[in-house]
Structure formats: C-alpha cells, structure tokens
Amino acid sequence: MNGKWTIGIIGGSGLYAIDGLANAEWRDVPTPWGDPSDQLLFGNVGAVNLVFLPRHGRGHRISPSELNARANIDALKRSGCTDILAISSIGSLREELEPGRFVVVDQFIDRTVMRASSFFTTGLVGHVSMADPVCPRLSAFAAEAVTAAGGNVTKGATYVAMEGPQFSSRAESLLYRQWGADVIGMTAMPEAKLAREAELPYALIGMVTDYDCWRESEAAVDVAEVIEQMHKNGDTARKTVSALIASLPRERTPSPIDTVLDFALMTDPAVRDPALIAKLDAILARVSAA
C-alpha cells in the first residue's frame, strides 16, 4: 500500500535550518530506552514530513561512545518516520576521496565495542540480515540530491565504524585500508543496525572532512581542520536535504525493509518476556498489529 514519506534525518548542527521547513516545532520524544540525544524537530516541506534529530545534541554535547542509539532510533520510529537519512562527517582512507567530497556509503565494518547494538535481547531474540545494510532506493535519491546541490559525490563505499573518541593510530588506519575500507567514522554503528531492526530503510551520506592518518608523510588528523571542513560542507548538506525532498515521488511505495521482522523473530511467543515486549512497543507495532 502506498503512503506518505516521513523522512527522519540524523545529523549535525545547522541541518535543522532547512529551506522551506514549515510548521517547525521542537518536541520531547521519551522512549523506554532512555532519552534520545536531544529534542526532535518536526516540520514539513510541502507534502513530505521531516523529523530531525541532532545526533550529538545541539552544541555537540555527547561523545560517540555515549550516544544512546537505541533511544534515537526508537524516537524516530515512534515519531512516524518511514525512512532515515543519516548525514555525518567522515575521514578518508582513499586518495580519490578528498576533503569536501560527499560519499554515499553502502557497506560497513563494525569495530565498535562499547555500545548496545540491538533492541532484541534475552526474552525476545531477533536476527535481521545486514548483508545489504542500506536502502538502495533512498541511497540513490541521496546521491542524486548531492549532485543537484552542487556537491561532488561518490556512490558506494565501505565505512569502518571505530569506537573513538580518539582518532586512529597509523597502524589501524593502514590496516583498514588493507581490509578494503574507504572511509572511517564513529557514529554509523550501531545506528544502521538498529534502523534495520526498526524496519526503517536507512541511507548514509558521509561528508569527508580529512584524510585519516594513513598518509604517513603528513600531519595527523587535527580537530581544527575537521571543524573547518565541516563548516564548508554544511551549506551543501542543507541544500542536499532540500534537493532530496524535492526529488521524492509523491507517494512512497513499500520497501522490502518495511517488513524484515516477519522473518527475524526466533523466540516462541509463549516464552517471550512481557517487559521486553512492552519496551518494544514502537519497534514491534506493525507485527503486533498483524
């Protein structure tokens, strides 16, 4: 059945200044998993609803390792989002992915170790496929939107998610290149995994701010350099969001990702934990109603 688009946007400061955003309102969205990073900004551009979440909180208050990704994704699901567009700064592991370039990621290597990475724990076991971790439809719209916004875009890249908050050692950076990774960041995992569990098609636009420290003849990554490039990327990022909204078909046709939980839940209904089921009210809303 066709329906309306409600795009959840997870990004950094400045993205909520989206051209043409009407009926803008910041709202608290409590979740059973704790507080999301900040209030969520609700609004619409024409017929497309938007829900914006500042990933690190306004003012960049929250460290990557301390993000409550479960609360963030639950809050977006609870807010009626149909799809998620994540926008984040990344480091480059390839010469051809220069600072200022936008990269639409299609694969991940998860090197995070301190983060809760699933909604499904003891009491309700669920296994979703992450073989193809992003939504190809939304990713294609995202790549076209970067071009329409005047940015240089590369379609398809492998993102290695590191724990942080420290940047890589040179040995790690060189290892990631050997693994075939193209870009590096600290926030896409477990964000993308949780979006899949929540049946939310997910796409990631990475904005290259710097070369990671694999270039041994050059200085290591510097925060001032990263911040300067982030500001340069910001205007194109905002224009990209506007271009993506303008490019969406009038009606949203279903995605296979909308129903992944039909094939993921393993625990016999007779022994599922009622307390966990209650926490999963938003995540399981569709399958519970079926």
Give yes or no for residue 2 having a pLDDT over 70: no
Does 69 reside within a domain?
A: no
Give yes or no for residue 25 having a pLDDT over 90: yes
Helix 136-148 and helix 223-247: axis angle, to 10°? Answer: 110
What are 135-174's pLDDT values in tens digits? 999 999 999 999 999 999 999 999 999 999 999 999 999 9
Instruction: Provide the CATH number for the domain around residue 273.
Output: 3.40.50.1580
Does 35 reside within a domain?
A: no
State residue 234's pLDDT score: 81
Per the structure, the complete domain to which residue 263 belongs is given by 86-289
Distance of alpha carbon 203 from alpha carbon 136, whole angstroms: 8
Does 57 reside within a domain?
A: no
Give the residue-averaged pLDDT of 9-15. Answer: 80
Give yes or no for residue 279 having a pLDDT over 60: yes
Give the residue-averaged pLDDT of 62-81. Answer: 97
Q: Please check whether residue 102 is in contact with residue 153, taking contact to mean a CB–CB distance below 8 angstroms.
A: yes
Helix 188-197 and helix 69-78: axis angle, to 10°? Answer: 40
What are 73-99's pLDDT values in tens digits? 999 999 999 999 999 999 999 999 999
Q: Please check whether residue 52 is in contact with residue 59, taking contact to mean a CB–CB distance below 8 angstroms.
A: no
Give which of 180, 183, 194 is closest to 160, Cα–Cα. Answer: 183
Does 6 reside within a domain?
A: no
Pairing verdict, β 6-11 and 48-54: parallel
Does 217 reside within a domain?
A: yes
Does 29 reside within a domain?
A: no
State residue 235's pLDDT score: 86
Distance of alpha carbon 18 from alpha carbon 20, whole angstroms: 6
Distance of alpha carbon 64 from alpha carbon 275, whole angstroms: 28
Give yes or no for residue 1 having a pLDDT over 50: no
Distance of alpha carbon 81 from alpha carbon 104, whole angstroms: 21
Give the residue-averaged pLDDT of 279-286. Answer: 97
Can you tell me whether residue 146 is helix, strand or coil?
helix
Pairing verdict, β 6-11 and 83-92: parallel
Q: Please check whether residue 142 is in contact with residue 103, taking contact to mean a CB–CB distance below 8 angstroms.
A: no
- Residues facing 25 on adjacent strands: 42
What are 196-244's pLDDT values in tens digits? 999 999 999 999 999 999 987 766 666 777 777 777 778 899 999 999 9
Does 149 reside within a domain?
A: yes
Give the residue-averaged pLDDT of 46-65. Answer: 94
Q: Among all residues, which ones are annotated catalytic?
A: 210, 212
Give which of 212, 190, 213, 220 is closest to 202, Cα–Cα. Answer: 190
Residue owning tokens 């079926």 = 290
Can you tell me whether residue 124 is helix, strand or coil?
coil
State residue 13's pLDDT score: 61
Q: What percent of the chain has pLDDT over 70?
A: 97
C-alpha 282, offset from chain centre = 18
Give the residue-averaged pLDDT of 55-75. Answer: 95
Which residues, at least 6 apart from 264, have a Cβ–Cβ distance to it below 8 Å?
126, 127, 128, 197
Look over the chain and give the mean of its residue pLDDT values, rounded to a whole number: 94
Q: Does the model's pTM come out above 0.85? A: yes
Q: How many domains is the chain partitioned into structurally?
A: 1
State residue 231's pLDDT score: 76
Does 219 reside within a domain?
A: yes
C-alpha 200, offset from chain centre = 10
State residue 70's pLDDT score: 98
